[in-house]
Amino acid sequence: MQWLRSPRLWVAALALVAMVLLPLWVSEYVLGVLTIAYYFGVFAMSWDLLFGYAGEVNFGPTFLIGIGAYVSGMLNIYTSVPMVLCIAAGAVAAVIAGVLLALPALRLRGAYFGLVTLVSVLILQTVIVLFASYTGGEIGFSVPSILSIDSGVNYYYALAFMVVSGMVLLAVARSPMGLILQATGQDPLGAQALGFNVTKHKLAAFCLSALFSGLAGALTIFYLGSVSVNTVVDLAVTVQIIIAAVLGGRRTIVGGALGAIFLIVAAEYLRPIGELSNLVVAAFALIVLLFIPDGFLGLFPRREARS
Amino acid sequence: MTLLLQVLVDGFVIGALYGLGAAGFTIIFGVSGVLNLAHGGVMVVAAMVAWMVAGGILHASLLTGVVCGVAAGMVTAYATYYLVVRPAQRSRRIPDEEREIFILTATLLLGIVIQEGIAYLFTSNPVTVPPLVSGVVHVFGVRTPTNELLIGVISWVVLGLLWLFVNRTRQGKAVLAASINPHGLAMLGFELPQIHRLVWGLYGLLGGVAGVLLATFEGASSGLVGGLTASAFIIVVLGGLGSVPGSLVAAYVIGFMETVTAYLISPAIRTLPGMVLLLLILYVRPQGLLGRR
Amino acid sequence: MNTSARKTIWTLGSFLAAMVLVAGVSLVAPAAHAKTKAPIRIGVIAPFSAIDGASIINGAEMAVDEINKAGGIEGRPVKLFKYDNHASATDAVRAFQRAVKQDHVVAIAGTFISEVALAIEPWSARLHTPFIVTGAASTKITGEVHNHYARDKYVFHNWLNSDFQGRVVCDFAKDELVGKLGYKTAVVMSEDAAWTQPLDVSYLKCLPKAGLKVLDHIRFSPDTNDFTPLFNKVESEHADVIIAGWAHVGVKPTVQWHQQQVPALLAGINAQAGASSFWKSTNGDTEGVITGTAGVSGAAVTPKSEPFTKAYTKRYHTTPAYNAYSTYDSIYMLKAAIEREHSTNADKLVTGLEKTDYLGTVGRVKFYGRNDLYTHGMEYGKDLVQTVVFQWQHGKQVPVWPHRVSLAKLEVPSFVKQHVAMNR
């Protein structure tokens, strides 16, 4: 059981215990901040599966998140479907949308794939604004159901979701499929030559990413009690997700969660400088990207040798 | 009939302006292999500086404002290259196969930094640069602000100068060759760093002029940075990455599509047909209309 | 020390650092304790970087400073907490939650974007904290209060909603555009946003009654950059005046209207034109533009209007936007409600606010009641709140309506004048 001796595992366990016990010490407001951070963590971890492993830069994670959010939100408003089913429906819708987008898009390389994902977000935004009478347009709408008013309960929902998602995504990343993904990401021709179906694996990764993104998107709006283009579709959100994943360390999955927590907590610290906080965060991320491209977690390399 | 003429006039100017911005963008890709996602930043910085000097704060002459604006655009382009792109291209910490993605993300972040910087200094409210000339002119019965037509003409003059430069001067031909095969050029003894210096300066010039002209016509604000980058990206991919004639054609295609949509259907969805067209092209002919790679 | 031990120390060390970071966040904010007896805490939320947003913050600040100088509320000083919502619904909701749970405010004022106000509204209900919207115009804000009174009664809308703003424009049109200029036709041109939906309904209903035939009704996307096709349409219909519904846009269509020399007067609502910096942003192209706002320098709407405008301009080096007035009034109205009920309890505050009958800087403010259509909305009327319509003339905002505050006649830009003369 050599893995039991891994310091990383013990650190992770300690961190988990700390996070679970946190509500005993900190104020409700801090819990609220962390709740958002945890959902963001899932956005970032899902993104890392695609970027760090499959090597596809997705400029439109908010396409999947937005579909998950809007479908579940609209179901909640216009029908009497129970909230849990709305959330599930949102996740399913995100996966379907992901497949429809990915199938043709994965035939394209690098920058072109990125462009398609970018355009998909722009189109989604235009469509939402166009059908404003149903979707609330730019204004968005409030949803009648929410997960809970209690900050503590919301915190635990988010924490549990993040931990479970993280474990699933990590398991996939470490599995044989994950290794194949890495191979196809770094050397698609080589991987193909070895007989792996590159497209099939990338598609699977995309679906998984879509599932968690959509689920997280739906949960986020039932936490906030409202959905709008600003919150779940806007390009600004995409940029934050990318920053979070990069800061934490790409190709680590867990890095995404770390980066998201760091980002959102840092934004709180930067509150006093108001407007400049976005600039500072982006500038900081840029510096990290250039000089510490492996991110925070990259400073602690795994013991396994890289082939 | 007047409607058709209005569409033609309006579309002509919009296409020219889009073309100017896109031309620089595609040259950079051709020579440096970089898709500069901070492109909008070059244009908006130029516009803001022009406004600051000529209109809002220093009240200098319009010409001074324009010159300062274009210069600011070039400074931004150089800053992008020397502070972000070149370090990313040379960094040994970044694995080669991921370099392209890193540069893409880095320029994206730079774009955000520029956008937020502008918003902090100038607020997010739009400003306009005073028009180059005022008054209106009647073109085939369509009343158009003279400034608007002048913008179209200036854009084409600049593009013409660009063509002359690339095809008739030694350095220009080197740039053209570099855009086709940078390594081959190095083997022939050309100094690549010098080429890059030239190209990025050229890019700043083109973007700066486009930004200032846009500001006299439609105004500029920090919020435009993302949208301008997205439009340029779409046009350049449509036309074929690396091909200047391609991006000009695409600029007009998109420009006219948007104008026709705005006039005949509704301004609300003017960008939609262009985006759908882009998706179709990407699936059917990814190298774009006139692309090489 | 071997590598793996060093690594362990590294990882444990960084983990501890992370814990300190998280704990630190809770220490950065004031420690939570039960409602303090001493200061009365009030929160104000707005986007700092927008001119209209800064107005809200400044208006609140001025009111609080004045109240504290005069002895506070029932002897207690007022402490103002400011929050930047970055014009985003999420940030606004988080700011609201922070204000209530962390900073323990008794009431919150602010925001001028309907989207944001509507996102905050359910949280005002869930957290039982009064929320006074000091801008925005969507009728949904009060609609929610009317339909779900017991739940949403904590929300008050201290600005005229779109329905009334439309009526203001029509009253102005009747007196000035039809009565004095003899205009006959108009085109309604609004940005496609939630606040303009009831506005346009109002326009279409009352403009004909005011004497203007509505030739066309144009709605455009707020991120339109090129207004040429729309202005060409207006021109081809030979309308005398454009009745606008603009708030998210302002600079671009105004500049293009001027440069294209569109032969129709520009009136209605052009919210951004209410800011004094608009002249500079448009390089003077706003000459002749007419719009409504809460207060304009020189317009003595109430005895409090001019002193406020002067004091604000002196302190902040720019004229107050409309919601500086409404936010300033809101703080005073809160004071009156607290004094009336001798309590800062949420439900008592609601009762207290409902009894508001306050002569502020925008007029005499009263809120509609439970059984009125616009529950907790600002009452509109000649002796209540009517706002002011002004025109940009030679670089200055000159009030032109209502009659008792007007300082000059309407001027018509030359390129418009010719056209109308031709059409007679």
Residue-wise pLDDT tens digits, A189-231: 777 777 777 778 888 888 899 999 999 999 998 988 878 777 7
Shortest alpha-carbon distance between residue B222 and chain C (Å):
11
Shortest alpha-carbon distance between residue A160 and chain C (Å):
18
List CB contacts (< 8 A) between B255 and chain C.
Answer: none
Q: How many CB atoms lie within 10 A of CB C340?
A: 15
Task: Give the CA distances from residue C279 to residues B58, B60, B128, C282, C396, in Å, rounded to whole numbers and listed in that order.
Answer: 15, 17, 11, 5, 8
Q: Do B143 and C235 touch (CB under 8 A)?
A: yes
DSSP calls for chain A: -GGGG-HHHHHHHHHHHHHHHGGGTS-HHHHHHHHHHHHHHHHHHHHHIIIIIT----S-HHHHHHHHHHHHHHHHHHS---HHHHHHHHHHHHHHHHHHHHHHHTTS-HHHHHHHHHHHHHHHHHHHHHTHHHH-TTT-EE-S--S-S-HHHHHHHHHHHHHHHHHHHHHHHHSHHHHHHHHHHH-HHHHHHTT--HHHHHHHHHHHHHHHHHHHHHHHHHHHSEE-HHHHTSHHHHHHHHHHHHHH-TT-SHHHHHHHHHHHHHHHHTGGGTTHHHHHHHHHHHHHHHH-TTTTGGGS--SSPP-
C-chain residue closest to B264, CA distance: C229
List CB contacts (< 8 A) between B35 and chain A.
Answer: 111
Q: Do B112 and A278 touch (CB under 8 A)?
A: yes
Shortest alpha-carbon distance between residue C404 and chain A (Å):
38
C10 has a chain A CB within 8 A of its CB:
yes
ipTM metric: 0.80
Q: Do A126 and B91 touch (CB under 8 A)?
A: no
| Numbered residues of chain C with Cβ closer than 8 Å to any chain B Cβ | 49-51, 192, 219-221, 223-226, 228-230, 232, 235-236, 250-252, 255-256, 259-261, 272, 277, 280-283, 285
- Give the pLDDT score at A305: 41
A45 touches A164 (CB < 8 A): no
C211 touches C184 (CB < 8 A): yes
Q: Do C101 and A29 touch (CB under 8 A)?
A: yes
C294: helix, strand or coil: coil
- Of all residues in chain C, the percent with pLDDT exceeding 70 is 90
Number of H helices, E strands in chain C: 15, 14
φ, ψ dihedrals at C193, nearest 5°: -140, 165
Q: Note the pLDDT tens digit of each residue in C252-302.
A: 899 989 988 899 999 999 988 888 888 888 888 999 999 988 878 778 889
**Site from B143, B221, B258, B269 to mutate, C interface, most C CB atoms within 10 angstroms:** B143
Q: How confident is the model at residue B163 (pLDDT cuts 50, 70, 90)?
A: confident
Stretch 122-151 of chain C: residues touching chain A, C-beta under 8 Å: 122-123, 126, 138
A32 has a chain C CB within 8 A of its CB:
yes
C13 has a chain A CB within 8 A of its CB:
no
Domain-embedded: residue C371: no
Q: Do C98 and A228 touch (CB under 8 A)?
A: no
Q: Do A285 and B276 touch (CB under 8 A)?
A: no
Identify which of C88, C97, C222 has the shortest CB distance to residue A230: C88
**Site from B25, B99, B108 to mutate, A interface, most A CB atoms within 10 angstroms:** B108
Same domain membership, residue C45 and residue C136: yes
- Domain count for chain C, please give it: 2
Domain-embedded: residue C151: yes
- The chains found to touch A (3+ Cβ pairs under 8 angstroms) are B, C
Q: How confident is the model at residue C186 (pLDDT cuts 50, 70, 90)?
A: very high
- As a whole number, the mean pLDDT across chain B is 84
Q: How confident is the model at residue C34 (pLDDT cuts 50, 70, 90)?
A: very low
A233 has a chain C CB within 8 A of its CB:
no
- Give the pLDDT score at B251: 92
Give the H/E segment covering residue C423.
Answer: helix C414-423
Same domain membership, residue C236 and residue C182: yes
pLDDT of A289 strictly over 70? yes
Q: Note the pLDDT tens digit of each residue in C82-130.
A: 998 877 777 788 889 889 988 999 999 999 888 889 889 988 998 999 9
- Of all residues in chain A, the percent with pLDDT exceeding 70 is 93
- The two beta strands, C357-359 and C364-366, are antiparallel
Give the H/E segment covering residue B272.
Answer: helix B272-284
- Which residues on adjacent β-strands are paired with residue C186? C214, C241
Same domain membership, residue C237 and residue C180: yes
Q: What is the CATH number of the domain that holds A238?
A: 1.10.3470
Shortest alpha-carbon distance between residue A172 and chain B (Å):
22
Same domain membership, residue C63 and residue C171: no
Give the Cα separation of C201 and C116 in Å (integer): 23
Same domain membership, residue C215 and residue C85: no
- Which residues on adjacent β-strands are paired with residue A174? none
- As a whole number, the mean pLDDT across chain A is 83
Stretch 273-302 of chain A: residues touching chain C, C-beta under 8 Å: 274-275, 300
Give the H/E segment covering residue C41.
Answer: strand C40-46
Q: Note the pLDDT tens digit of each residue in A226-275.
A: 787 777 887 778 888 988 888 888 888 888 899 999 888 888 788 777 66
Same domain membership, residue C169 and residue C117: no
Q: How confident is the model at residue C368 (pLDDT cuts 50, 70, 90)?
A: very high
Shortest alpha-carbon distance between residue C15 and chain A (Å):
7
- The two beta strands, C213-220 and C290-293, are unpaired
List the one residue out of B144, B208, B199, B148 whose CA is nearest residue B176. Answer: B199
Quote the domain boundaries for residue A75. 8-15+40-305
Q: How confident is the model at residue A3 (pLDDT cuts 50, 70, 90)?
A: low
Domain-embedded: residue A146: yes
Task: Give the CA distances from residue C166 to residues A136, C52, C177, C332, in Å, rounded to whole numbers and listed in that order.
Answer: 22, 20, 15, 27
C285-294 in b/e form (b: 16+ CB < 10 A) is bbbbbbbbbb
Q: Do C259 and B131 touch (CB under 8 A)?
A: yes
**Site from A50, A57, A107 to mutate, B interface, most B CB atoms within 10 angstroms:** A57
Q: Do B105 and A275 touch (CB under 8 A)?
A: no
Instruction: Report how far apart the first and last C-alpha atoms of chain C are (Å, whole number).
Output: 97
Quote the domain boundaries for residue C256. 163-298+387-422
**Site from C84, C280, C283, C414 to mutate, B interface, most B CB atoms within 10 angstroms:** C283
Structure tokens at A243: 């920053």
A-chain residue closest to B36, CA distance: A111
Mean pLDDT, range C345-349, rounded to an integer: 93
C251 touches C271 (CB < 8 A): no
Same domain membership, residue C231 and residue C245: yes
Domain-embedded: residue A26: no
**Site from A281, A286, A299, A306 to mutate, B interface, most B CB atoms within 10 angstroms:** A286
C294 touches C204 (CB < 8 A): no
Mean pLDDT, range C8-36, rounded to an integer: 53
**Alpha helix positions (H), B80-223:** 86-90, 99-122, 146-168, 170-180, 182-187, 192-217
Same domain membership, residue C340 and residue C259: no
Structure tokens at A133: 């009478």
- Of all residues in chain A, the percent with pLDDT exceeding 90 is 22
Identify which of B120, B136, B221 has the shortest CB distance to residue C260: B136
Domain-embedded: residue A152: yes
Sign of CA dihedral B223, B224, B225, B226: positive
Q: Do C261 and B2 touch (CB under 8 A)?
A: no
A156-186 in b/e form (b: 16+ CB < 10 A) is bbbbebbbebbeebbebbeeebbebbbbbbb
Residue C416, classified by CB atoms within 10 Å of its CB into exposed (0-12), middle (13-18) or buried (19+), is buried
Shortest alpha-carbon distance between residue C178 and chain B (Å):
28
C-chain residue closest to B14, CA distance: C226
Domain-embedded: residue C413: yes
Give the Cα separation of A251 and A186 in Å (integer): 12
C26 touches A30 (CB < 8 A): yes
Place of tokens 């399913």: A92
- Give the pLDDT score at A97: 92
Structure tokens at B57: 């704060």
Domain-embedded: residue C29: no
C333: helix, strand or coil: helix
Same domain membership, residue C280 and residue C246: yes
Q: Do C259 and B134 touch (CB under 8 A)?
A: yes
Structure tokens at B118: 């502008």
- The chains found to touch B (3+ Cβ pairs under 8 angstroms) are A, C
Mean pLDDT, range C224-229, rounded to an integer: 80
Identify which of B95, B233, B276 has the shortest CB distance to residue A115: B233
Domain-embedded: residue C28: no
Type of residue at C254: T
A132 has a chain C CB within 8 A of its CB:
yes
Give the H/E segment covering residue C131.
Answer: strand C131-133
Place of tokens 């091909």: B243
Same domain membership, residue C201 and residue C239: yes
Give the Cα separation of A74 and C303 in Å (integer): 49
Cis, bond preceding C402 (omega within 30 deg of 0): yes
Type of residue at B103: I
Q: Note the pLDDT tens digit of each residue in A105-144.
A: 777 777 778 878 888 888 898 888 778 777 777 667 778 7
Size of interface A-B (CB pairs under 8 A): 100
- Domain count for chain A, please give it: 1
Give the H/E segment covering residue B12.
Answer: helix B2-32
Same domain membership, residue C71 and residue C182: no
Same domain membership, residue C149 and residue C56: yes
Mean pLDDT, range C189-215, rounded to an integer: 91
C362-390 in b/e form (b: 16+ CB < 10 A) is bbbbbbbeeeeebbbbbbbeeeebbbbbb
List CB contacts (< 8 A) between C87 and chain A.
Answer: 230
Identify which of A104, A279, A290 has the shortest CB distance to residue B113: A279
B-chain residue closest to A289, CA distance: B106
Q: What is the CATH number of the domain that holds C127?
A: 3.40.50.2300
- Which residues on adjacent β-strands are paired with residue C80? C42
Domain-embedded: residue C16: no
Q: Do A286 and B276 touch (CB under 8 A)?
A: no
B120 has a chain A CB within 8 A of its CB:
yes
C-chain residue closest to B260, CA distance: C229
Domain-embedded: residue A160: yes
